[in-house]
Structure 1
Amino acid sequence: MRALLTVIVIAALAWSIYWAVGSTGVNTAFNTWFEDRRSEGWVAEVSALETKGFPNRFDTTFSDVSLADPETGLAWEAPFFQIFALSYKPNHVIAVWPNEQRIATPLAKYDLASEDMRASLVTQAATTLPLDRLTLTAEALSVLEEGAREPTRAKALTLAVERQSVAENSYRLGFKADGFSPALDWRVQIDPNGTLPDTLDALSADLTVDFDAPWDINAIQTARPQPRKINLRLAEARWGQLELQAAGEMTVDAAGIPEGEITIKARNWRDILKLAVETGAIPEGFAGSLEDGLSLMSQLAGNPKTLDIPLGLRGGRVLLGPVPIGPAPRLVLR
């Protein structure tokens, strides 16, 4: 018994020393990271940084966090931010955000509110902490753009990311928003006559993206990896009588210009066309001819209420068949 007690005491003492050294190392690493960002010209401030959780956890709380990257113009402020990790499994962390925070971009500022926003993140065993998988959830999320009359809301939001082994820097992403309600200003632009409900019935996406670099610590402190190939398995939106689905593949060049083809399946497409005319997205004088052409396409497909629309992405333009209908979006992550 005396020998067993001695072993237990020594083990407990060794573990206590390990936790003390580990927690000190965690604080030092985070403080060094903030100092390095400031030396690069960032705004990187925190009023307090503390690690607790003895004996099995490293639970770090940052108080009054303020980060701003001068190169991209992105900034984030929060009253606190927490990172929880098991002391014997430091590559798996839980991140917790406060109920209120602010994000600023070069284009606008946004106030975020939520009841519970957190993420589970697992990294690979490397000094740059490359992402292996991530799951982010948020409850009762609202995003209010500065100057807007009403926020965009979602009852629940889930984002899942998993590294794929089939290609370097390839990640599968899944997104789902339940009870998604667009901001009033946006709804008025899309539906000026108020014919659609306030909330979408469904909004989700499943895709695989190949990037030009891995998502690791450098993605925060240096530059965001940029998409180079996108395989959209399915994106779906249902809003009242309107239903859209999209699938396809595209490549993205260094300027962010996509090349490829996306097929849009539109149910009740005449209602969608009517909305596009009412909002001015399609000139009223062109609507009749366009409806006749789309009607012929839907009849040939065998279902007059459903329309499969192949959209080509070439030369910086979006094309319906050989006809350009607008500029292609630039896919660049700031």
Structure 2
Amino acid sequence: MRRFLWLIPIAAILYAGYWVIGARGTEKAIESWIAARAAEGWQAEYSDVKTRGFPTRFDTVIREPQLADPRSGVAFSTPRIEILSQSTRPTRFTARAADEARFATPYQRIDVTQTRAEAELFVAAGPSLTLDHSSATLEDLAVTSSLGWGVTLDTGRFVTQRDAADPLTHRITLTAHGLEPAEGMMDSLDPEGRLTDRFDTFELDMRTRFDAPWDIHALEGPRPQPTHVDLTGLAAQWGPLKLRLTGAFDVDPRGYPEGTVAVKAENWREMIEIATAMGAIPEQMEKIALRAGGMLAGMSGRKDTIDAELTLRDGMITLGFIPIGPAPRLTIR
């Protein structure tokens, strides 16, 4: 037995060496990635990168990262990002954000605060770190835009799972509780006070195919863009308003959806008025939308309920046979 005791300190020394190499390798990879972005013309800065957690963990903290992509015009800054993993499970990461962050686009600045912003990422082995599945949790989120809008959220959960048969397809689910527009938004969206302060339900379940994998390269260059969406269900209830969408559509190279979506809407008149107040429906189209909605509701047998199909084509949305307005562009910047 004694003859094998000398193996213990040797094993400890070897493991310590492995941990040091792994920790320094993690720091070097992050530093190199940021340096590569700066070489491409990004604003890419940080004050410090350190890894701790010996002997069982690699817990890396990036302090004061500031990133800005000149091609997309999107910028991000936060006091701290933590990337945590077990030394025995290098393909599983936990990412935690500080309690505040700022995003900027060419059109607006968005300030975000929360008490918890945490994501678990499971990636395939290999240098590309291709995403297999993930989950993200938000608690006590507050979002404020320089354009004057804002929302708060009690809790939110976002989950993705890559399809084993089609690696470019991911199932995506989103559940939000306590989603509440800011008070100023409520005054403009619902001046008559017909709605509750917050959404009762907001749930999304869909399968989306992208034109490229979600991996480390997605952070470096053009983001993967959706090419096809199977919308299993989008359900939202806000006071007396109830909306459910299901369907499938392709996404053309410009980002516009092409296909059909079944819609069931209760108390649809208020929805159109709110959509107009939000700018989703042009003001000049509101009367046409209300007239079309009345005709479609009459066909369904209930004046307050629409049960019909939205047609998405040529960058436009048509409800039944009546044009509603421009379709949203589904592009990821």
Scaled to the shorter chain, the TM-score interval is: over 0.9
Letter in 2 for 1:17: G
Instruction: Give the corresponding residue for 2:125.
Output: 125
- Structure 1 residue 52 and structure 2 residue 59: aligned? no
- Structure 1 residue 254 and structure 2 residue 253: aligned? yes
Instruction: Give the corresponding residue for 2:161.
Output: 162
Deviation at 1:184, TM superposition (A): 3.1
8 A Cα contact 1:316 1:328, kept in partner: yes
- Structure 1 residue 177 and structure 2 residue 155: aligned? no
Pair 1:181–1:296, CA change in 2 (3 A) = same
Pair 1:110–1:271, CA change in 2 (3 A) = closer
Aligned 1:309-324 pairs, distance under 5 A: 309-324=308-323
Distance 2:265 2:75 in 1: 38
Deviation at 1:330, TM superposition (A): 1.3
8 A Cα contact 1:192 1:278, kept in partner: no
8 A Cα contact 2:99 2:114, kept in partner: yes
Instruction: Give the corresponding residue for 2:330.
Output: 331
8 A Cα contact 1:276 1:282, kept in partner: no
Distance 1:126 1:277 in 2: 48
Instruction: Give the corresponding residue for 2:86.
Output: 86
User: What number of residue pairs does the alignment pair up?
Assistant: 330
Letter in 1 for 2:92: H
Letter in 2 for 1:115: T
Distance 1:289 1:38 in 2: 54
Deviation at 1:194, TM superposition (A): 2.1
Pair 1:14–1:253, CA change in 2 (3 A) = same
- Partner SS state of residue 165, structure 1: coil
In the alignment, structure 2 segments of 5+ residues that lack a partner are: none
Letter in 2 for 1:131: L
TM-score by length of 1: 0.93
Pair 1:304–1:3, CA change in 2 (3 A) = farther
Identical amino acids, percent of aligned pairs: 37
Select 1:290's aligned residue among 281, 289, 292: 292
- Partner SS state of residue 11, structure 1: helix
Distance 1:23 1:285 in 2: 62
Distance 1:167 1:21 in 2: 35
8 A Cα contact 1:75 1:103, kept in partner: yes
- Partner SS state of residue 65, structure 2: strand
- Partner SS state of residue 181, structure 2: coil
8 A Cα contact 1:277 1:287, kept in partner: no
Distance 1:307 1:92 in 2: 45
8 A Cα contact 2:188 2:277, kept in partner: no
Deviation at 1:183, TM superposition (A): 2.4
- Partner SS state of residue 154, structure 2: strand
Instruction: Give the corresponding residue for 1:266.
Output: 265
TM-score by length of 2: 0.93
Instruction: Give the corresponding residue for 2:190.
Output: 191
8 A Cα contact 2:296 2:307, kept in partner: no
Pair 1:313–1:46, CA change in 2 (3 A) = same
CA RMSD, Structure 1 to Structure 2 (Å): 2.0
Pair 1:292–1:52, CA change in 2 (3 A) = closer
Instruction: Give the corresponding residue for 1:114.
Output: 114
